[in-house]
């Protein structure tokens, strides 16, 4: 996979098929500075919150979510 961007708390990759995979990390930042420590499972919690709201509003506003099921993702995004 090709890394497209590395942000403060997210990474975005492009698969060979052209899909984008957004990975939420456990990194933390304050005032635009990435801190040395992490919060364990922060990325998982943020993803669950986002998926809840995207699911709740998907009939009102289209969104970018294709799947949150790892087994349905391209092979290079499962590791």
DSSP-assigned states of every residue in 6-45: E-SSEEEEE-TTS-EEEEE-SEEEETTEEEEEE-TTHHHH
Q: What tens digit of pLDDT does each residue of 53-74 get?
A: 999 999 999 988 888 888 887 7
Q: What is the pLDDT of residue 67?
A: 82
Q: What is the pLDDT of residue 10?
A: 84
Q: Is the pLDDT of residue 79 over 80?
A: no
Q: What tens digit of pLDDT does each residue of 21-65 get?
A: 888 887 878 777 777 888 888 888 888 999 999 999 999 999 888
Q: What is the pTM of this model?
A: 0.62
Classified by CATH at the fold level, domain 2-74 comes out as Phosphorylase Kinase; domain 1 (3.30.200)
Q: Where are the domains of the chain?
A: 2-74
């Amino acid at each position: 996979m090709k890394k497209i961007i590395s942000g403060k708390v997210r990474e975005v990759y492009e698969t060979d098929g052209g899909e984008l995979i957004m990975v939420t990390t456990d990194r933390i930042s304050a005032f635009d500075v990435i801190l040395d420590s992490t919060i364990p499972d922060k990325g998982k919690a943020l993803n669950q919150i986002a998926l809840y709201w995207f699911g709740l509003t998907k009939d009102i506003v289209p969104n970018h979510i294709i799947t949150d099921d790892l087994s349905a993702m391209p092979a290079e995004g499962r590791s």
